[in-house]
Amino acid sequence: MSDGETFDEMWGHDATLRSPYQDFHEWFAEEDPARLRAKQREAEEIFRLTGITFNVYGRAEAEERLIPFDIIPRIISGNEWRKLSRGIEQRVRAINAFLHDIYHNREIVKAGRLPEEMIAANEAYLPQMIGVQPPGGVYTHIVGIDLVRTGPGEFFVLEDNARTPSGVSYMLENRETMLQMFPELFSRNRVRPVQNYPLDLRRSLAACAPSGTSGKPVVAVLTPGIYNSAYYEHAFLADQMGVELVEGHDLRVVDGRVAMRTTRGYTPVDVLYRRVDDEFLDPLNFNPDSALGIPGIMDVYRAGGITIANAPGTGISDDKAIYSYMPDIVEFYTGERPLLQNVPTWRCSEPGDLAYVLDNLADLVVKEVHGSGGYGMLIGPTASKKEIAAFRRKLKARPGNYIAQPTLSLSTVPIFARSGLAPRHVDLRPFVLVSPEGVKITPGGLTRVALKKGSLVVNSSQGGGTKDTWVLEE
């Protein structure tokens, strides 16, 4: 139950059962805890047999792990989701317009809404994309927007993931597992389906094929290979879409097209869903030592011969310093007030903000502007004096590398613990598909949960788990 200060999505602030959880609560009260514990073990076995793993780096050697799965669903009402969807779509459209602008006329800089150095000095900005018009005008074909909740109608955007957002395979497998283990729950609750995502993804990617494409567009998924932390997802999505999973050595430029090796020779590819970072995409244009990319693919792309999803150079919109300008970005390109708010953010590159952050490190969350996965960050309230002192030195040495935010009271959702239901902090990553035909948001997304009591870190690489996310029909 809620502690009165933290908003619990099942029990609210005042230990009153919220309506989205009504049917679930009745079902749970009828269940034998021993059966549920057996089902929790069964879920873990399903994930193990399916091979749903990820790799943890930064140790002596890479370690492959199962992502813990909790059987208690996170439930969002249809009305809540409708409001969230409007805000998500507004933000995604603004990000796409922002990317087009900074690689073309830079109107937002001319208008004084964004400092020039935020673009020119940003390592994620690709000069090779200046003047390039992606097929269909789409830069961000697949987007993951990380959201946190602090109250009944209070959602904040924590991060934008417009480069290569991951985790959608876990969303799909979580639902499949719940349907398999608790079919009766879905007959008692009208839950919107997520299983169409792979088909929607393929259709959305095909709709972004270059204008000269003849016949059915050929789509492929580019993976760095089996040692990548998200390789399971790459293989899963290729299989579910019914397209080829390829590595850089399977592709080459042939007669001005990017073609993949098959048993019948080389077949041209129209749309490449790449899960390889910009730096490694093309050794002729970026990192010359890359063995993961395709020499010359950027030349074909600039000539309009292939769609790369997401477009090269979209990583600048993931940047946490750019994130701090997102309210201005949304308003500039949509002419509307943002429907989803940012978490208040201090830019450590600015002397006044840096002074405030250094004085309040014990109360703040400090993140690297290009960081991800929960690495390289400080959570002041849970850090030791020694950790804060070490971080202070890093911050003073490279202030422009960091932003800081207040420690939010993230909402909690129950997990199935030994003692029964116990609250744990969560976030949510909805997945968004963008094509010339429009914006499509999968109802729900990936809920990540901090399994340790009191922890605010939900990243799987830091010990977090996942849940099935339900959006109820209105």
> Using one digit for the tens of pLDDT, what is the confidence trace for 102-124?
999 999 999 999 999 999 888 89
Q: What is the pLDDT of residues 188-203, one digit of tens each?
A: 999 999 999 999 999 9
- Inform me whether the pLDDT recorded for 454 exceeds 90: no
For the ranges 38-47, 252-261, 430-439, which has the lowest average pLDDT? Answer: 38-47
User: Is residue 455 one of the residues assigned to a domain?
Assistant: yes
12-41 pLDDT, tens per residue? Answer: 999 999 999 999 999 999 999 999 999 999
Same domain, 183 and 71: yes
Tell whether 370 and 460 lie within a shared domain: no
Q: What are 453's two structure tokens?
A: 């009591």
Chain-centre distance of CA 78, in angstroms? 22
CB-CB contact of 277 with 290 (8 Å) = no
Last residue of a domain, one of 381, 406, 431: 406
Structural domain boundaries, residue 369: 344-406
Domain boundary among 384, 406, 428: 406
Residues 397 and 355 in one domain: yes
Q: Indicate whether 74 belongs to any domain.
A: yes
Q: Cβ distance 432 to 139 under 8 Å?
A: no
Q: Is residue 435 part of a domain?
A: yes
Confidence of residue 419 (pLDDT cuts 50, 70, 90): confident
| 166 and 76 share one domain | yes
Residues 457 and 366 in one domain: no
Is residue 432 a part of any domain in this protein?
yes
Task: Answer yes or no: do 354 and 465 share one domain.
Answer: no
> Which pLDDT score, from 0 to 100, does residue 106 have?
97
Question: 145-184: per-residue pLDDT in tens?
Answer: 999 999 998 999 999 999 989 999 999 999 999 999 999 9
Average pLDDT, the chain: 92
The DSSP bridge partners found for residue 428 are: 147, 447
Could you give phi then psi for residue 287, rounded to 5 degrees? -70, 115
Q: Do 76 and 158 share a domain, yes or no? A: yes
Q: Are residues 389 and 435 in the same domain?
A: no
E strand segments, 223-358: 244-246, 251-254, 257-262, 265-268, 271-274, 307-309, 341-342, 346-347
- Of 36, 14, 34, the residue nearest 24 (C-alpha): 36
The answer as to whether 289 is a domain residue is no
**47 shares its domain with 155:** yes
- For residue 99, is it within any domain? no
Instruction: Give yes or no for residue 302 having a pLDDT over 60.
Output: yes
pLDDT tens per residue across span 175-184: 999 999 999 9
Rounded distance, CA 180 to CA 161, Å? 31
User: Are 60 and 170 contained in the same domain?
Assistant: yes
Can you give the pLDDT at residue 5? Answer: 81
Specify if 179 maps to a domain. Answer: yes
pLDDT class for 2, splitting at 50, 70, 90?
A: very low
Token duo for residue 354: 């840096």
How much is the average pLDDT of 56-79? 76
pLDDT tens track for 256-296: 999 999 998 999 999 999 999 999 999 999 999 999 999 99
Structure confidence by residue, pLDDT tens digits, 329-349: 999 999 999 999 999 999 999
pLDDT in tens, 354-409: 999 999 999 999 998 876 655 678 989 888 999 999 999 999 999 988 999 998 88
pLDDT of residue 320: 87
If asked whether residues 402 and 455 sit together in one domain, one would say no
Query: Cα(210)–Cα(214) distance, rounded to whole angstroms?
Result: 9
User: Higher-confidence residue: 402 or 48?
Assistant: 402
469: which DSSP letter? E
* CATH code, domain carrying 360: 3.30.1490.270
Say what percent of the chain tops pLDDT 90.
Answer: 80
Domain boundary among 357, 379, 406: 406
Total domains in the fold of the chain: 2
